Amino acid sequence: MRKIKLKAMAKINLGLDVVRKREDGYHEVRMIMQTIRMYDQLQLLKREAPGIRVKTNLYYLPTNEDNLVYKAAKLLMDEFHIRQGLHIDLHKFIPVAAGMAGGSSDAAAVLVGMNRMFGLGLSRTQLMERGVKLGADIPYCIMRGTALAEGIGENLTRLEPVPCCHVLVAKPGIHVSTKFVYSNLKVSELKTHPDIDGQIEAIKNRDLKGIAALMGNVLETVTIPAYPVIQQIKDEMLSHGALNAMMSGSGPTVFGLFDREEKACQAAAALKEKELAKQVYLTGMFQGGKEDEE
């Protein structure tokens, strides 16, 4: 196999709780992760000349070892002594630095693609074990679907698929530092925590309204006071009939779940008209299956 095209899918957090801050400085979490049908496109091409080349459609993204796709490729090349070179063409569509694991998903796609191209024979579990060396979200991005993530996000339990619905994604024109969010989170002072176990039960019962009602993200206690536009986007989605709306990950992206496409389209139009979000997309839940290759 000389080349392969892949889709690197985005994720949202249906629930995000921080249990405690560990002695090593990391935060222990319990999260419901969900893949959505928004994706970056990658093409991997073997080269005779050794080395890794990365090309992207965004001028401000690094194309050297500071890019996770480069690190993922190098990880497998070093381990398996691959002497051929690799060209990675990355077309970004997932909003950057948005709490949607775009970079992690791109790296996951490179690991999966190289495993096939070079016939490395690694299982999904073995790929996930390698991925966690580069980032806590990468094992989930290899697994995809609906999952409970614990520890620092690397301990995964697959859950039943979430019922189909319309997912409205809106990213305001701001950048939120993940480090800023976690360093300002006062875990011991959190008054409420999302009911992750209740949400798992609602997922098991395929109860979309129940899943939505239990959505919660403790990181909003930091981001919303600092960036009020996040709450404004949530309120706009709710006023147009979202079952619920919430920030994904450490933000600033907000997503809303809708049971009717018409409502979601009206909310999208309102967000654009009021210029609350710079990027607005309407998509759906990823239910599983082989959708990584184009």
Q: Which residue, chain included where needed, has tokens 């299956």?
A: 289
Higher pLDDT, 175 or 14: 14
Asked whether the predicted pLDDT for residue 124 surpasses 70, the reply is: yes
CA-wise closest residue to 278 among 169, 176, 178, 177: 169
Share the mean pLDDT of the chain: 94
In the beta sheet, which residues pair with residue 157?
Answer: 148
Are the C-beta atoms of 161 and 146 separated by less than 8 Å?
A: yes
Of the listed ranges 34-38, 150-154, 174-178, 289-293, the least confidently predicted one is 289-293
Are the C-beta atoms of 4 and 44 separated by less than 8 Å?
A: yes
Are the C-beta atoms of 33 and 17 separated by less than 8 Å?
A: no
Give the model's pLDDT for residue 287.
Answer: 79
Are the C-beta atoms of 184 and 178 separated by less than 8 Å?
A: no
Bind-site residues for ATP: 95-105
Residues 6+ apart with CB under 8 A from 47: 53, 84, 85, 86, 87
Write the pLDDT tens digit of every residue in 260-278.
999 999 999 999 999 999 9
17, 40, 106, 137: the active-site residue: 137
Interatomic CA distance for residues 105 and 9, integer angstroms = 6
- Quote the DSSP letter at residue 200: H
pLDDT band at 289, cuts 50/70/90? low
Asked whether the predicted pLDDT for residue 26 surpasses 90, the reply is: no
Interatomic CA distance for residues 76 and 78, integer angstroms = 5
Q: State the Rg of the chain over Cα.
A: 19
CA-wise closest residue to 234 among 179, 168, 183, 180: 168
pLDDT band at 8, cuts 50/70/90? very high
* 17 labelled catalytic: no
Report the amino acid identity of residue 139: P
Q: Within a 10 A sphere around the Cβ of 24, how many other Cβ atoms? A: 6
Asked whether the predicted pLDDT for residue 292 surpasses 70, the reply is: no
Instruction: Give the β-pairing of 27-47 and 244-247.
Output: unpaired
Bind-site residues: 95-105
Give the model's pLDDT for residue 293.
Answer: 46
pTM above 0.85, yes or no: yes
Of the listed ranges 28-42, 75-89, 173-187, 221-235, the least confidently predicted one is 173-187
11, 171, 234, 263: the active-site residue: 11
Interatomic CA distance for residues 48 and 84, integer angstroms = 5
Higher pLDDT, 293 or 233: 233
Percentage of residues in the chain having pLDDT higher than 70: 98
Distances (CA, A) of 148 to 44, 120, 181: 30, 29, 22
Distances (CA, A) of 187 to 14, 22, 27, 250: 19, 11, 9, 15
Tokens encoding 212:
């939505």
Q: Once rounded to an integer, what is the mean pLDDT over residues 203-212?
A: 97
Asked whether the predicted pLDDT for residue 211 surpasses 90, the reply is: yes
Asked whether the predicted pLDDT for residue 291 surpasses 70, the reply is: no
Are the C-beta atoms of 42 and 5 separated by less than 8 Å?
A: yes
Residues 6+ apart with CB under 8 A from 78: none
Residues 6+ apart with CB under 8 A from 290: none
pLDDT band at 1, cuts 50/70/90? confident
Give the model's pLDDT for residue 290.
Answer: 55
- C-alpha torsion 266→195→253→152, nearest 10: -160
* 137 labelled catalytic: yes
Give the model's pLDDT for residue 33.
Answer: 97
Are the C-beta atoms of 15 and 194 separated by less than 8 Å?
A: yes
Q: Once rounded to an integer, what is the mean pLDDT over residues 153-163?
A: 94
Question: From the centroid of its chain, how far is CA 235?
Answer: 23
Give the model's pLDDT for residue 178.
Answer: 87
Give the model's pLDDT for residue 168.
Answer: 98
Write the pLDDT tens digit of every residue in 146-156.
999 999 888 99
Write the pLDDT tens digit of every residue in 89-98.
999 999 988 8
